[in-house]
Amino acid sequence: MKRQVRAAGREGTLDFTRDGSSVYFTLDWEDGARDTGLADAVEVAPGHWSILWDGQSFEAIVEPEAVLVNGSRIAAHSRDPRDWSPADAHAGASGPAHIASPMPGKIIRVLVNDGDNVEEGQGIMVVEAMKMQNEMQSPRAGTVRTLRASVGGTVAAGEVLATIE
Amino acid sequence: MFRKVLVANRGEIAVRILGALRRLGIPSVAVYSDADRAAPHVRCADEAYPIGAAPSSQSYLNIERILETCRQCRATAIHPGYGFLSENATFASACEAAGITFIGPPAAAIRAMGLKTEARVLAQRANVPTVPGTSEPLSGYEAARKVASAIGYPLMLKAAAGGGGKGMRAVHSESALEAAFRDASSEAESSFRDASVYIERLIERPRHIEIQIIGDKLGNLIHLGERECSLQRRHQKVIEECPSPFVARHPGLRERMGQAAINAARQADYYNAGTVEFLVDEQANFYFLEMNTRLQVEHPVTEMVTGLDLVELQLRVAAGEPLSITQEQVEWRGSAVECRVYAEDPGHNFFPSPGLITRYDAPHGPGLRLDSGVQAGFTVPIDYDPMLAKLAAWGSTRGMAIERLRDAVNRFAISGIRTNLSFFREILADRLFLAGEIHTGFIAEWLARRASPTPSAQQEIVAALVASLATVNATVPVQANGAASQWLRSGRSAQLR
């Protein structure tokens, strides 16, 4: 089975076959490196894997867009190479980035204006949720567009509050 | 002792208090909001009653409803825990008026210490040093500007009714004062319904060291030593320890601070458990910060080192018994370190992460203590503070306690929601932390200097492999509640970028 993978920013193609808990794999990284091996993989609980490989025991927990390997969170993504789209190739590099509150809350402060140039990590607004004031930050450098947030407004989970272009 | 005790709280502290009641053989009552029917605190009480809707203003802060529940189930005392009604003098008075014992200090002491400016005056009267600043709330920005130029920068703006880091702002120059004053006032207003703020000089690189005290209704008052709580993120404590590595290096400091704390408490005719917080500068000068008139979140580290049960002591003195120990009998053995496990995402600026907990495997081992308010299958509500549990470790030395805690953090498996455990993994291995070189700005500095741990090549391969195995294995997407579907939706939209 072939998968297009990304782990900690590294892209590659994974080819693997499973036989019970045994997984034979070949990983061809874009930078030309190749890793091959035989791992033993068991899903001990939903989303929680025990991997025995290379003389080591790994505990891996699947999260959205990440895998926690022995406690270290590694950004990871896997998809069918047939689903390849040009947008994926540029993911994170360009195109508008949306800023959305992951939960319901109330806007306490808006720290930028429409049209402002912002740096990566710059605070865009402060949302109060779970008794905490949380600063929403820009995922990348760019220009603030379609700023929908206004002070005192309530926000729904997933509602896009600003777009960075 | 009491016939029956109602615990007017939720989460880990309710569980902890209910445990003490059970061990003492006192019948216990839990109360719960609509969001908490399945919460552990409800299940470990002898009786439990609903008190209203999820927002705390309609349930855990609803004085009338709680007192009515107390009357109906014929409980004779209420333990308020921390937060919610624990430092509400009106509630303490209402309990006494209803013939119910409030397990805490007298209402007058709560009132006096609750107003930070009045507390400063009390401390000064007891000859306890305070940070230079105003004793009166400021009338407005103009007044703030005048006082600020008299005291000098840098300074702190603080909510007069405050606590827990809400309504606090550090100001380094006059140009930043107006915005900071506005922010502190609005945060004070929304957190405490009281917008008044006051000014204190900012002590550079201070430590936050607090003294636990306990007193009975006969006037006996003792201290149980210090806790170092310098590791704070945005004025919220995240790691606490006993003893303080700084106090351990300064012979006599514990006794001096302990006596000052007792003097401040005596000035307020205090009884029951309380904590006097101090800022300590690099020359070991200490300044009264405030007094918390309740059981503290971080009380377990004191219990682990002194061998005492603070909740049991609270219950006994509230019932009128004299303190069973004298100052001379208090002993400190070894070292204990605690971290506060929050439902928040350290990878995304610590944004809260409520939702369904799908897996909750707690670590076990020598010297470990877990005070937990959640379980697998519980949905962490959006209505309350995101603290899930406190994980603490004891060791004969500080180094041993930290090693045990770090190992426990590494083995604590929580799935379904994000937690700050990965943040503790790194902090507990930090060279300066291990050396005890800490101050209240430590975490802000650490976040700035922190090198993101680079995963090993093997870990990257395992991540790629497991991400692939999981997508291939996934037949039914996990979607247990609305929150999960929001994550999915926002995850999908992120992929469409």
Q: Inspect the interface and report whether the beta carbons of B497 and A51 lie closer than 8 Å.
A: no
How far apart are the C-alpha atoms of B485 and B475, rounded to whole Å?
Answer: 16
Q: Can you tell me whether residue B382 is helix, strand or coil?
A: coil
- Is B496 a residue whose pLDDT tops 80? no
Q: Lowest mean pLDDT: which of A27-36, A97-106, B271-280?
A: A97-106
Cα B331 from chain centre? 24
Q: Chain A within 8 Å of B486 (Cβ-Cβ)? A: yes
The two three-digit tokens of residue B53, written as one number:
């809707």
Contact status, residue A52 vs residue A43, Cβ threshold 8 Å: no
- Is B171 a residue whose pLDDT tops 60? yes
Q: Which of B361, B469, B487 to mutate to test the interface with A (most CBs of A within 10 A)?
A: B469
Instruction: Quickly count: other Cβ atoms within 10 Å of residue B359's Cβ.
Output: 16
For A2, nearest residue in chain B (alpha carbons): B468
Confidence of residue B471 (pLDDT cuts 50, 70, 90): confident
- Is A46 a residue whose pLDDT tops 90? no
User: For chain B, how far is it from start to end, CA to CA, in angstroms?
Assistant: 64
Q: What is the mean pLDDT of residues B35-50?
A: 97
Q: Chain A within 8 Å of B491 (Cβ-Cβ)? A: yes
Q: For A66, left (φ over 0), alpha (ψ -120 to 50), or beta?
A: beta
Q: What is the mean pLDDT of residues B437-461?
A: 90
Contacts of B295 (CB under 8 A, 6+ apart): B13, B81, B82, B86, B273, B310, B311, B314
Report the residue from A47, A72, A77 with minimal CB separation from B455: A72
Confidence of residue A102 (pLDDT cuts 50, 70, 90): confident
Q: Which of B466, B472, B481 to mutate to test the interface with A (most CBs of A within 10 A)?
A: B466
How far apart are the C-alpha atoms of B357 and B372, rounded to whole Å?
Answer: 13
- Print burial letters for B227-258: b (CB count within 10 Å at least 16), e (below 16): bbbbbbbebbbbbbbbbbbbbbeeeebbeebb
How far apart are the C-alpha atoms of B194 and B191, rounded to whole Å?
Answer: 8
Distance from CA of B181 to the nearest CA of A (A): 14
Quick one: pLDDT at residue B408?
97
Q: Inspect the interface and report whether the beta carbons of A71 and B489 lie closer than 8 Å.
A: no
- Is B497 a residue whose pLDDT tops 60? no
Contacts of B445 (CB under 8 A, 6+ apart): none
How far apart are the C-alpha atoms of A100 and A157, rounded to whole Å?
Answer: 8
Q: Chain A within 8 Å of B198 (Cβ-Cβ)? A: no
Distance from CA of A143 to the nearest CA of B (A): 16
Confidence of residue B161 (pLDDT cuts 50, 70, 90): confident
Q: What is the mean pLDDT of residues A67-78?
A: 88
Report the residue from A70, A134, A157 with minimal CB separation from B459: A70
Q: Which residues of B touch A60 (CB under 8 A)?
A: 462-463, 466
Q: What is the mean pLDDT of residues A146-153?
A: 82
Distance (Å) of CA B224 to CA B164, B319, B342, B458: 22, 20, 27, 48
State which H helix or E strand residue B378 sits in: none
Q: What is the mean pLDDT of residues B277-295?
A: 95
Contact status, residue B175 vs residue B197, Cβ threshold 8 Å: no
Contacts of A116 (CB under 8 A, 6+ apart): A143, A144
For B344, nearest residue in chain A (alpha carbons): A130
For A44, nearest residue in chain B (alpha carbons): B359
- Is A60 a residue whose pLDDT tops 80? yes
Confidence of residue B481 (pLDDT cuts 50, 70, 90): very low
Q: Which residues of B touch A158 (CB under 8 A)?
A: 486, 489-490, 493
Q: What is the mean pLDDT of residues A41-68?
A: 90
Distance from CA of B269 to the nearest CA of A (A): 32
Q: What is the mean pLDDT of residues B5-32?
A: 98
- Is A92 a residue whose pLDDT tops 50? no
Quick one: pLDDT at residue B483?
43
The backbone torsions φ and ψ at residue B369, rounded to the nearest 5 degrees and listed phi first, read -140, 130
Mode of pairing for the β-strands spanning B28-33 and B5-7: parallel
ipTM of the predicted assembly exceeds 0.85? no
Q: Inspect the interface and report whether the beta carbons of B468 and A109 lie closer than 8 Å.
A: no
Contact status, residue A164 vs residue A145, Cβ threshold 8 Å: yes
How far apart are the C-alpha atoms of B133 and B151, rounded to whole Å?
Answer: 7
- Is B458 a residue whose pLDDT tops 50? yes
Q: Inspect the interface and report whether the beta carbons of A60 and B463 lie closer than 8 Å.
A: yes
How far apart are the C-alpha atoms of B136 and B141, rounded to whole Å?
Answer: 14
B227 - beta bridge partners? B210
Contacts of B102 (CB under 8 A, 6+ apart): B77, B78, B80, B91, B92, B95, B96, B318
Q: Chain A within 8 Å of B471 (Cβ-Cβ)? A: yes
- Is B163 a residue whose pLDDT tops 50? yes
Confidence of residue B495 (pLDDT cuts 50, 70, 90): low
- Is B209 a residue whose pLDDT tops 50? yes
Quick one: pLDDT at residue B237?
96
- Is B477 a residue whose pLDDT tops 60? no
- Is A84 a residue whose pLDDT tops 90? no
Q: How many CA atoms lie within 13 A of B186 on its CB side?
A: 14
**Higher pLDDT among residues A50 and B349, named by residue:** A50
Contacts of A14 (CB under 8 A, 6+ apart): A2, A3, A4, A5, A25, A26, A27, A78, B464, B465, B468
How far apart are the C-alpha atoms of A55 and B159, rounded to whole Å?
Answer: 56
Q: Inspect the interface and report whether the beta carbons of A79 and B471 lie closer than 8 Å.
A: yes
Q: Lowest mean pLDDT: which of A6-20, B29-43, B217-231, B386-400?
A: A6-20
Q: Is the peptide bond before B154 cis (omega within 30 degrees of 0)?
A: yes
Quick one: pLDDT at residue B162?
74
- Is B490 a residue whose pLDDT tops 80? no
Quick one: pLDDT at residue B186?
87
Distance (Å) of CA A76 to CA A71, B207, B377, B399, B485: 14, 39, 26, 35, 20
Q: Inspect the interface and report whether the beta carbons of B358 and A46 lie closer than 8 Å.
A: yes
Q: Inspect the interface and report whether the beta carbons of A7 and B495 lie closer than 8 Å.
A: no
Quick one: pLDDT at residue B488?
52
- Is B189 a residue whose pLDDT tops 70? yes
Cβ pairs bridging A and B (under 8 Å) = 190
- Is B164 a residue whose pLDDT tops 70? no
Contact status, residue B391 vs residue B368, Cβ threshold 8 Å: yes
Q: Which of B168, B374, B465, B472 to mutate to test the interface with A (most CBs of A within 10 A)?
A: B465
pLDDT digits (tens, 9 = 90+) for B373-401: 999 999 999 999 999 999 999 999 999 99
Contact status, residue B334 vs residue B394, Cβ threshold 8 Å: yes
Average of per-residue pLDDT values in chain B: 92
The backbone torsions φ and ψ at residue A39, rounded to the nearest 5 degrees and listed phi first, read -115, 155
Q: Inspect the interface and report whether the beta carbons of A103 and B413 lie closer than 8 Å.
A: no
Q: Inspect the interface and report whether the beta carbons of A76 and B472 lie closer than 8 Å.
A: no
Q: Inspect the interface and report whether the beta carbons of B422 and A73 lie closer than 8 Å.
A: yes
Q: Inspect the interface and report whether the beta carbons of B458 and A133 lie closer than 8 Å.
A: no
Residue B296, class by beta-carbon neighbours within 10 Å (0-12 exposed, 13-18 middle, 19+ buried)? buried
Length in residues, chain A: 165
How far apart are the C-alpha atoms of B389 and B431, rounded to whole Å?
Answer: 26
Q: Catalytic annotation on B359? A: no
Report the residue from B183, B383, B490 with minimal CB separation from A102: B490
Q: Which residues of A touch B471 (CB under 8 A)?
A: 3, 78-79
Closest residue by Cα to residue B218 from B348, B317, B300: B317
How far apart are the C-alpha atoms of A139 and B353, rounded to whole Å?
Answer: 18
Q: Lowest mean pLDDT: which of A24-28, B20-24, B153-157, B245-249?
A: B153-157
Strand order in the sheet with A154-155: A132-137, A123-129, A105-110, A154-155
Q: Lowest mean pLDDT: which of A83-97, A127-141, B321-335, B375-389?
A: A83-97
Closest residue by Cα to residue B466 from A23, A9, A117: A23
For A79, nearest residue in chain B (alpha carbons): B468
Q: Inspect the interface and report whether the beta carbons of A56 and B473 lie closer than 8 Å.
A: no
For B417, nearest residue in chain A (alpha carbons): A63
The catalytic position among B227, B233, B294, B418 is B294
- Print burial letters for A81-101: b (CB count within 10 Å at least 16), e (below 16): eeeeeeebeeeeeeeebbbbb
Q: Which residues of B touch A5 (CB under 8 A)?
A: 464, 467-468
Instruction: Tell me which residues of chain B, numbers 299 to 358, contact chain A at a CB-CB cutoff of 8 Å.
Output: 343-344, 347, 349-354, 358
Q: Which residues of A touch B415 (CB under 8 A)?
A: 45, 47-48, 61, 63
Q: Which residues of A touch B349 (CB under 8 A)?
A: 134-137
How far apart are the C-alpha atoms of B257 and B264, rounded to whole Å?
Answer: 11
Rg of chain A taking only CA atoms, in angstroms:
20
